[in-house]
């Protein structure tokens, strides 16, 4: 037995010298002190010994077991420390390396255009309103002089939520009626309202069943005329498209304005000479507008003999597309960062 133990010791010392990895530790533990290890083996035959011999064999095998366990544990610690040190050395941070660039966000281009418009109108004394997207037929159509059965409803067919009275608003013009009723025919109004609208439309590069409009309404007792609207639209166009652009009105028709106009801005890309952006016309159509129809004023609680007003409404995406040279409206609703990055906010840099 003694001889066996001596041999085990010699083997163990030799094995320990060659150990390098944590797997080697696992193996050496199994070989010596594991369930079937050679030291454990020693105690297995003890039942055949005499009590005297058993006592001595027990002492000796305990001794060698403790010896082996200590040695193996020490070696394990040594190896773990070596692995840790190597890792620390390898992973040391080189502070002279350039920092990793963290991509930062930028304001949404559509929000930017809306904010620009809000800033301009607030500077002219307008309030910014918010209206519900789920709207009543009354506000979206009836109070805007578009009674049930009116053919103008076809072009603004929308999503009906409950029966035919609750719908997703097809135009932010609905907020005109809300704001006028809120002021009970007593106070002048200057408001704009940016917001989402919904309507049946072919979804293509320039149309979407869901888009953003910016509505404007001014009501006052003073002699408000089309030239006030013209001046206001001129300020808007210059703010969005540059100081040197000019504007024009073309006759149009809306049920809630009389007279109604279509407002154009001279093409900022070709300065009115004609180019692909303006389809060679030299002009870009921006909004619908007009003098608030007397029926609308009356239905919304304003006496048309005393009050007058103008209104306008335009698509925010269309303005952003023209301004930033975006040729597909779907880009605004697409979460693909590669596409969003295309209109890389040059002036934000
Ligand atoms: N609501 C109209 C549309 O969606 C746009 C519009 C035209 C708004 C004339 C107005 C307006 O306020 O006066 O096509």
Q: Which atom of ligand 1 is closest in space to residue 213's alpha carbon?
A: 4
CA gap 281, 49 in Å, rounded: 114
288 lines ligand 1 (CB under 6 A): yes
CA gap 98, 185 in Å, rounded: 65
CA gap 324, 319 in Å, rounded: 8
* Sign (positive or negative) of CA dihedral 216, 219, 220, 221: positive
CA–centroid distance, 288 to ligand 1, in Å, is: 5
Phi, psi of 222 (to 5 degrees): -65, 165
pLDDT of residue 307: 97
pLDDT of residue 349: 40
pLDDT of residue 341: 65
In angstroms and rounded to an integer, the radius of gyration of the C-alpha atoms of the chain is 41
* Cut 0.85: pTM above it: no
257 lines ligand 1 (CB under 6 A): yes
Half-sphere exposure of 36 (CA within 13 A, CB side): 1
Task: Name the residue at shortest CA distance from atom 2 of ligand 1.
Answer: 313
Task: Name the residue at shortest CA distance from atom 8 of ligand 1.
Answer: 313
pLDDT of residue 311: 98
CA–centroid distance, 88 to ligand 1, in Å, is: 67
Residue ranges of the chain with per-residue pLDDT less than 70: 339-349
pLDDT of residue 105: 74
With CA atoms as reference, report the closest residue to 128 among 186, 195, 197, 225. Answer: 195
**CATH superfamily assigned to domain 111-348:** Bira Bifunctional Protein; Domain 2 (3.30.930.10)
CA gap 70, 39 in Å, rounded: 14
Please name the residues in contact with 69: beta carbons below 8 A apart, sequence gap of 6 or more: 33
CA–centroid distance, 138 to ligand 1, in Å, is: 16
CA gap 341, 344 in Å, rounded: 5
Half-sphere exposure of 234 (CA within 13 A, CB side): 11
Per-domain residue ranges for the chain?
2-90, 111-348
263 lines ligand 1 (CB under 6 A): no
CA–centroid distance, 185 to ligand 1, in Å, is: 21
131 lines ligand 1 (CB under 6 A): no
User: Cis ω on the peptide bond leading into residue 254 (within 30° of 0)?
Assistant: no
173 lines ligand 1 (CB under 6 A): yes
pLDDT of residue 339: 67
289 lines ligand 1 (CB under 6 A): yes
pLDDT of residue 346: 47
Q: Which atom of ligand 1 is closest in space to residue 217's alpha carbon?
A: 12
CA–centroid distance, 310 to ligand 1, in Å, is: 11
Half-sphere exposure of 123 (CA within 13 A, CB side): 10
């Amino acid at each position: 037995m003694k001889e066996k133990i001596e041999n085990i010791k010699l083997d163990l010392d030799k094995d320990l010298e060659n150990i390098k990895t944590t797997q080697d530790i696992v193996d050496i533990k199994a070989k010596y002190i594991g369930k079937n290890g050679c030291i454990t083996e020693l105690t297995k035959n003890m039942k055949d010994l005499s009590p005297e011999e058993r006592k001595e064999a027990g002492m000796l095998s305990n001794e060698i077991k403790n010896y082996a366990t200590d040695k193996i544990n020490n070696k394990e610690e040594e190896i773990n420390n070596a692995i840790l040190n190597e890792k620390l050395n390898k992973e040391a941070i080189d502070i002279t390396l350039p920092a990793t660039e963290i991509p930062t966000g930028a304001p949404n281009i559509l929000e930017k255009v809306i904010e620009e418009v809000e800033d301009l109108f607030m500077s002219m004394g307008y309030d910014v309103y918010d209206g519900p997207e789920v709207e009543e037929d009354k506000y979206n159509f009836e109070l805007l002089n578009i009674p049930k059965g009116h053919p103008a409803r076809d072009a603004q067919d929308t999503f009906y939520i409950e029966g035919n009275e609750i719908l997703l608003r097809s135009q932010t013009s609905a907020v005109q009626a809300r704001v006028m009723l809120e002021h009970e025919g007593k106070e002048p109004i200057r408001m704009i309202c940016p917001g989402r609208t919904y309507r049946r439309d072919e979804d293509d590069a320039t149309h979407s069943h869901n888009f953003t409009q910016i509505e404007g309404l001014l009501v006052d007792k003073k002699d408000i005329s089309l030239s006030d609207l013209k001046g206001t639209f001129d300020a808007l166009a210059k703010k969005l498209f540059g100081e040197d652009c000019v504007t024009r009105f073309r006759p149009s028709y809306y049920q809630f304005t009389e007279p109604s106009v279509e407002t154009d801005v001279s093409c900022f890309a070709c300065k009115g000479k004609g180019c692909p952006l303006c389809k060679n016309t030299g002009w870009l159509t921006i909004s619908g507008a007009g003098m608030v129809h007397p029926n609308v004023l009356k239905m919304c609680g304003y006496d048309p003999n005393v009050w007058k007003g103008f209104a306008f409404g335009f698509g925010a995406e269309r303005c952003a597309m023209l301004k930033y040279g975006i040729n597909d409206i779907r880009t605004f609703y697409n979460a693909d960062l590669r596409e969003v990055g295309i209109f890389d906010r040059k002036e934000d840099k």
